[in-house]
Amino acid sequence: MRITDAKVIVTSPGRNFVTLKITTSDGVTGIGDATLNGRELAVASYLRDHVCPLLIGRDPARIEDTWQYLYRGAYWRRGPVTMTAIAAVDTALWDIKGKVAGLPVYQLLGGRSREGVTVYGHANGETIPEVLDEVAKYVDLGYRAVRVQCGVPGLDATYGVSKDKMFYEPADATLPSEATWSTERYLRVVPELFAAVRDRFGYDLHVLHDIHHRLTPIEAGGLGSRLQEYAPFWLEDPVPAELQDGFRLIRQHTTAPIAVGEVFNSIWDCEQLIREQLIDYIRATVVHAGGITHLRRIFDLAALHHVRTGSHGATDLSPVCMSAALHLDIAVPNFGIQEYMRHTEATDEVFPHGYRFADGYLHPSEEPGLGVDIDEKLAARYPYEPAYLPVNRLTDGSMHHW
């Protein structure tokens, strides 16, 4: 069996997705997510012009060898575009291997380590009372964990706070929109938010919060120390991760668990953070961290250092990525939690899938392979639409430098 075709499909059923579809000489197909939010066409071109021609004639069963071939053979290693492209190939090959074996992919990864994958939803609102009402909705749906975000008083917009509460999409304009940011106002409101959530819902509910890289290490340490009494499940992305020594300073000031890594694309981005136990959860994803093969490598390293998984799961990761993530989540021993932002009905129609939500857990498909597909005819009805993530400026007009 050999690879006979590899094609890139770009579609926008409410937001842009890039998908790689590989076909073998036996007619078996596999798909992989290749979506890089705001830079989708860069990956599409990388795949179409530089990767797909290399796949024709290769043995689809040689997943590891293909991964190394694409990673080492490019000379220009790592980076979000390269690793997203490799991830798409890797994911599609795992899909094919599962179909050929007649098994869901998680069985090929060692089988179940748990009955279901604990997920968290996003509760957000302009005011704290609005957030509390949104938390209640998720609790009623059966969620055991909820991320809470509220508007910052005095600011016109706050990243992470949306009008559509269930189907949040931050990429909102053909050119990046600009918002104003105030760290001082943010640091005042977050402890009030946590206090209100715990007062209404108690301590059995897991409560998470995303800082979105907005703070310095000392600011993050101070916030963490103030929030400790409210037992946060984690504080996500407290600072940018380029200067990883900054996480050591955070550790010196708080025991609040720290999660980071949704923008990481290789094991080398998080090796120090994991090895020195500067974080508690690693947020890397199948689609942006080199596929199932490489993400498993990251998770295995994390398991040796008491770091658990907590993969990114925003709406810009297609149901193909979510399907792949769940197969890995159900199998690895150090699973922590999985982000789950629901896709729109249009997206689910383009990407029919077998995973399901019940009682606060997601359950991977039991179909051979990943248990997800793409309806190419339907996808063709939704052409690419330029969309960018917003940027922030401080109140004095300067770019937010973190």
Which of the residues are catalytic?
159, 212
Cα(132)–Cα(129) distance, integer angstroms = 5
Torsion, Cα 161 221 313 39, to 10 degrees, reads 80
Cα(289)–Cα(260) distance, integer angstroms = 13
Among the residues of 307-395, which ranges form H helices? Answer: 319-331, 345-350, 376-379
Q: The tokens of 4 are what? A: 């006979």
The 3 state secondary structure assigned to 229-263 is HHCCCEEECCCCCCCCCHHHHHHCCCCCCEEECCC
* Sign of torsion over alpha carbons 358, 361, 210, 295: negative
Nearest Cα to 114, choosing from 371, 333, 339, 306?
Answer: 333
Residue 156: CB atoms within 10 Å: 8
* Sign of torsion over alpha carbons 162, 165, 170, 176: negative
Please, is 234 exposed, middle or buried when counting C-beta atoms within 10 Å of its C-beta (0-12, 13-18, 19+)? Answer: buried
Torsion, Cα 12 292 268 145, to 10 degrees, reads 70
Cα(240)–Cα(133) distance, integer angstroms = 31
Query: How distant is the alpha carbon of residue 4 from its chain centre?
Result: 31
Q: The tokens of 286 are what? A: 């199948």
Phi/psi of residue 362, nearest 5 degrees: -100, 145
CA distances 372 to 73, 262, 293, 358, Å, are 30, 23, 18, 18
